[in-house]
Amino acid sequence: MQLILLGPPGSGKGTLAADLEELYRIPHISTGDIFRRNIREKTALGQEAEAYINSGDLVPDTVTIAMVDARLAQDDCRQGFLLDGFPRTLVQADALGRMPVLRNQPLTAVLNLVVRDETIIKRLSGRRMCPKCGRGYNIHSQKPAVAGICDDCQAALTQRADDQEETVLKRLQTYKEQTEPLIAYYREQGLLFDADNEGTIEACFQAVRQLLDDRLSRS
Protein backbone atom coordinates (compact mmCIF):
# COMPACT_ATOMS: atom_id res chain seq x y z
CA MET A 1 0.00 0.00 0.00
CA GLN A 2 1.35 3.41 -1.01
CA LEU A 3 -0.31 6.23 0.93
CA ILE A 4 0.01 9.99 1.23
CA LEU A 5 -1.33 11.89 4.23
CA LEU A 6 -2.31 15.40 3.26
CA GLY A 7 -3.73 18.05 5.57
CA PRO A 8 -2.93 21.34 7.27
CA PRO A 9 -0.37 21.59 10.08
CA GLY A 10 -1.73 19.95 13.22
CA SER A 11 -4.55 18.14 11.38
CA GLY A 12 -3.41 14.83 12.90
CA LYS A 13 -1.21 13.36 10.14
CA GLY A 14 1.50 12.08 12.50
CA THR A 15 -1.01 10.68 15.00
CA LEU A 16 -2.96 8.80 12.32
CA ALA A 17 0.24 7.67 10.60
CA ALA A 18 1.45 5.92 13.75
CA ASP A 19 -1.75 3.81 13.84
CA LEU A 20 -1.68 3.08 10.08
CA GLU A 21 1.99 2.08 10.25
CA GLU A 22 1.17 -0.48 12.93
CA LEU A 23 -1.92 -1.77 11.10
CA TYR A 24 -0.44 -2.12 7.61
CA ARG A 25 3.24 -2.67 8.57
CA ILE A 26 4.53 -0.06 6.14
CA PRO A 27 7.23 2.54 6.95
CA HIS A 28 5.96 5.93 8.11
CA ILE A 29 8.05 8.60 6.37
CA SER A 30 7.54 12.03 7.93
CA THR A 31 9.59 14.77 6.28
CA GLY A 32 9.09 16.95 9.37
CA ASP A 33 10.52 14.20 11.61
CA ILE A 34 13.51 13.70 9.28
CA PHE A 35 14.24 17.45 9.31
CA ARG A 36 13.90 17.63 13.12
CA ARG A 37 16.25 14.66 13.58
CA ASN A 38 18.82 16.38 11.36
CA ILE A 39 18.42 19.61 13.35
CA ARG A 40 19.02 17.71 16.63
CA GLU A 41 22.07 15.99 15.15
CA LYS A 42 23.35 19.32 13.70
CA THR A 43 23.87 17.90 10.21
CA ALA A 44 24.31 20.17 7.16
CA LEU A 45 20.72 19.34 6.13
CA GLY A 46 19.49 20.26 9.61
CA GLN A 47 21.33 23.58 9.56
CA GLU A 48 19.84 24.40 6.16
CA ALA A 49 16.28 23.45 7.19
CA GLU A 50 16.13 24.98 10.69
CA ALA A 51 15.52 28.63 9.82
CA TYR A 52 12.75 27.76 7.34
CA ILE A 53 10.98 25.48 9.83
CA ASN A 54 11.19 27.88 12.77
CA SER A 55 9.70 30.69 10.71
CA GLY A 56 6.83 28.55 9.35
CA ASP A 57 8.13 28.43 5.76
CA LEU A 58 8.73 25.35 3.62
CA VAL A 59 12.23 23.97 3.14
CA PRO A 60 13.18 24.47 -0.56
CA ASP A 61 11.83 21.86 -2.98
CA THR A 62 15.23 20.74 -4.30
CA VAL A 63 16.46 19.81 -0.80
CA THR A 64 13.21 18.09 0.21
CA ILE A 65 12.77 16.14 -3.03
CA ALA A 66 16.34 14.75 -2.92
CA MET A 67 15.83 13.70 0.70
CA VAL A 68 12.57 11.84 -0.01
CA ASP A 69 13.89 10.26 -3.21
CA ALA A 70 16.79 8.76 -1.23
CA ARG A 71 14.49 7.54 1.55
CA LEU A 72 12.00 5.89 -0.84
CA ALA A 73 14.86 4.05 -2.59
CA GLN A 74 15.55 2.09 0.61
CA ASP A 75 14.59 -1.58 0.76
CA ASP A 76 11.87 -1.23 3.39
CA CYS A 77 9.74 0.79 0.91
CA ARG A 78 9.43 -2.09 -1.56
CA GLN A 79 6.29 -3.36 0.19
CA GLY A 80 4.73 0.08 0.45
CA PHE A 81 5.07 3.32 2.40
CA LEU A 82 3.16 6.06 4.13
CA LEU A 83 4.23 9.61 3.30
CA ASP A 84 3.38 12.19 5.99
CA GLY A 85 4.03 15.81 5.00
CA PHE A 86 5.25 15.12 1.48
CA PRO A 87 4.43 16.32 -1.11
CA ARG A 88 3.60 19.88 -0.02
CA THR A 89 3.93 21.73 -3.33
CA LEU A 90 2.92 20.96 -6.91
CA VAL A 91 6.62 20.75 -7.81
CA GLN A 92 7.11 18.07 -5.13
CA ALA A 93 4.01 16.18 -6.31
CA ASP A 94 5.26 16.11 -9.91
CA ALA A 95 8.70 14.96 -8.71
CA LEU A 96 7.15 12.17 -6.63
CA GLY A 97 5.22 10.98 -9.68
CA ARG A 98 8.51 10.55 -11.53
CA MET A 99 10.36 8.71 -8.74
CA PRO A 100 11.41 5.13 -9.60
CA VAL A 101 9.59 3.70 -6.57
CA LEU A 102 6.21 4.61 -8.10
CA ARG A 103 6.84 2.75 -11.36
CA ASN A 104 5.89 -0.66 -9.95
CA GLN A 105 4.00 0.61 -6.92
CA PRO A 106 1.40 3.23 -7.90
CA LEU A 107 -0.24 5.35 -5.22
CA THR A 108 -3.13 3.61 -3.47
CA ALA A 109 -4.75 6.71 -1.97
CA VAL A 110 -4.19 10.26 -0.79
CA LEU A 111 -5.95 10.89 2.53
CA ASN A 112 -6.88 14.51 3.11
CA LEU A 113 -7.46 15.25 6.80
CA VAL A 114 -10.10 17.92 7.25
CA VAL A 115 -9.99 20.04 10.44
CA ARG A 116 -11.05 23.65 11.15
CA ASP A 117 -8.38 26.29 11.83
CA GLU A 118 -9.72 26.96 15.38
CA THR A 119 -9.34 23.27 16.25
CA ILE A 120 -5.81 23.20 14.82
CA ILE A 121 -4.70 26.24 16.83
CA LYS A 122 -6.05 24.70 20.04
CA ARG A 123 -4.47 21.29 19.37
CA LEU A 124 -1.06 22.69 18.44
CA SER A 125 -0.96 24.97 21.48
CA GLY A 126 -1.55 21.84 23.60
CA ARG A 127 0.96 19.57 21.87
CA ARG A 128 3.96 18.41 23.92
CA MET A 129 6.86 16.16 22.93
CA CYS A 130 9.34 14.05 24.85
CA PRO A 131 12.81 15.30 23.81
CA LYS A 132 14.34 11.94 24.74
CA CYS A 133 12.11 9.27 23.11
CA GLY A 134 10.03 11.46 20.76
CA ARG A 135 6.63 10.34 22.14
CA GLY A 136 3.89 12.90 21.55
CA TYR A 137 1.32 14.14 24.09
CA ASN A 138 -1.43 16.74 24.19
CA ILE A 139 -2.58 18.57 27.31
CA HIS A 140 -6.18 18.42 25.99
CA SER A 141 -6.44 14.92 24.50
CA GLN A 142 -3.35 12.77 25.18
CA LYS A 143 -2.28 13.67 28.72
CA PRO A 144 0.71 12.02 30.37
CA ALA A 145 0.07 10.30 33.72
CA VAL A 146 2.05 13.06 35.51
CA ALA A 147 1.69 16.56 34.03
CA GLY A 148 4.74 17.60 32.01
CA ILE A 149 6.58 14.26 32.36
CA CYS A 150 6.99 11.49 29.75
CA ASP A 151 5.29 8.23 30.83
CA ASP A 152 8.01 6.13 29.17
CA CYS A 153 11.29 7.79 30.13
CA GLN A 154 10.35 10.41 32.78
CA ALA A 155 11.96 13.26 30.81
CA ALA A 156 10.41 16.75 31.05
CA LEU A 157 8.11 17.36 28.06
CA THR A 158 8.82 20.26 25.68
CA GLN A 159 6.93 22.26 23.05
CA ARG A 160 8.00 22.32 19.39
CA ALA A 161 9.66 25.62 18.44
CA ASP A 162 7.20 26.04 15.55
CA ASP A 163 4.12 25.52 17.76
CA GLN A 164 4.17 29.14 19.03
CA GLU A 165 0.86 30.72 17.95
CA GLU A 166 2.47 33.26 15.59
CA THR A 167 4.37 30.50 13.76
CA VAL A 168 1.29 28.26 13.65
CA LEU A 169 -0.61 31.07 11.87
CA LYS A 170 2.26 31.41 9.36
CA ARG A 171 2.28 27.63 8.79
CA LEU A 172 -1.48 27.71 8.10
CA GLN A 173 -0.96 30.52 5.58
CA THR A 174 1.90 28.61 3.90
CA TYR A 175 -0.34 25.54 3.74
CA LYS A 176 -3.19 27.46 2.07
CA GLU A 177 -0.89 29.06 -0.50
CA GLN A 178 1.37 26.15 -1.39
CA THR A 179 -0.16 22.83 -0.29
CA GLU A 180 -3.92 23.22 -0.67
CA PRO A 181 -3.69 23.10 -4.53
CA LEU A 182 -2.65 19.44 -4.12
CA ILE A 183 -6.22 18.59 -3.12
CA ALA A 184 -7.46 19.37 -6.64
CA TYR A 185 -4.32 17.81 -8.16
CA TYR A 186 -4.97 14.41 -6.55
CA ARG A 187 -8.77 14.66 -6.81
CA GLU A 188 -8.41 14.93 -10.59
CA GLN A 189 -6.37 11.72 -10.53
CA GLY A 190 -9.17 9.94 -8.60
CA LEU A 191 -6.85 9.34 -5.64
CA LEU A 192 -8.13 11.82 -3.04
CA PHE A 193 -10.29 10.82 -0.05
CA ASP A 194 -11.39 13.32 2.59
CA ALA A 195 -11.25 12.17 6.23
CA ASP A 196 -12.88 14.31 8.91
CA ASN A 197 -10.68 14.64 12.02
CA GLU A 198 -12.79 16.95 14.17
CA GLY A 199 -13.85 13.98 16.31
CA THR A 200 -11.69 11.61 18.33
CA ILE A 201 -8.39 10.09 17.18
CA GLU A 202 -10.03 6.63 17.28
CA ALA A 203 -13.04 7.76 15.19
CA CYS A 204 -10.75 9.13 12.47
CA PHE A 205 -8.61 5.97 12.48
CA GLN A 206 -11.66 3.68 12.15
CA ALA A 207 -13.13 5.79 9.30
CA VAL A 208 -9.82 5.74 7.40
CA ARG A 209 -9.40 2.04 7.99
CA GLN A 210 -12.87 1.37 6.54
CA LEU A 211 -12.15 3.61 3.57
CA LEU A 212 -8.83 1.85 2.81
CA ASP A 213 -10.35 -1.62 3.25
CA ASP A 214 -13.07 -0.67 0.72
CA ARG A 215 -10.46 0.70 -1.68
CA LEU A 216 -8.28 -2.43 -1.41
CA SER A 217 -11.21 -4.78 -1.90
CA ARG A 218 -12.10 -3.02 -5.17
CA SER A 219 -8.56 -3.11 -6.61
Tell me the catalytic residues: 13, 88, 127, 160, 171
Residue 113 backbone phi and psi in degrees, to 5: -75, 130
52 interacts with ligand AP5 by CB under 6 A: yes
Strand segments, DSSP code E, in 31-156 are: 81-84, 109-114, 127-129, 136-138
How many alpha carbons lie under 13 Å from residue 188 in its C-beta half-sphere?
A: 4
35 interacts with ligand AP5 by CB under 6 A: yes
Q: Would you state the torsion angle of the CA atoms of residues 173, 111, 195, 206, taken in this order, to the nearest 10 degrees?
A: -140
Whichever of 173 and 200 has its CB closer to ligand AP5, that residue is: 200
Whichever of 52 and 193 has its CB closer to ligand AP5, that residue is: 52
127 interacts with ligand AP5 by CB under 6 A: yes
From CA 117, how far away is CA 121, in angstroms rounded? 6
136 interacts with ligand AP5 by CB under 6 A: yes
Do 120 and 172 touch, CB atoms closer than 8 A?
Answer: yes
Choosing from 53, 110, 192, 208, the residue that interacts with ligand AP5 (CB under 6 A) is: 53
Choosing from 4, 88, 96, 208, the residue that interacts with ligand AP5 (CB under 6 A) is: 88
Q: 21: burial class by Cβ within 10 Å (0-12, 13-18, 19+)?
A: middle
Whichever of 24 and 36 has its CB closer to ligand AP5, that residue is: 36
CB of 217 to ligand AP5, least distance (A): 26
- Chain residues 150-169 in contact with ligand AP5, contact rule CB under 6 A: 162
83 interacts with ligand AP5 by CB under 6 A: no
Using alpha carbons only, what angle is made at residue 33 by residues 32 and 34, rounded to the nearest 5 degrees? 90
Choosing from 14, 27, 46, 80, the residue that interacts with ligand AP5 (CB under 6 A) is: 14
DSSP letter, residue 112: E
- Kindly list the residues in this chain that would bind ligand AP5 in the complex (CB under 6 A): 7, 9-15, 30-32, 35, 52-53, 57-59, 64, 85-86, 88, 92, 123, 127, 136, 138, 141-142, 162, 171, 197, 200-201, 204
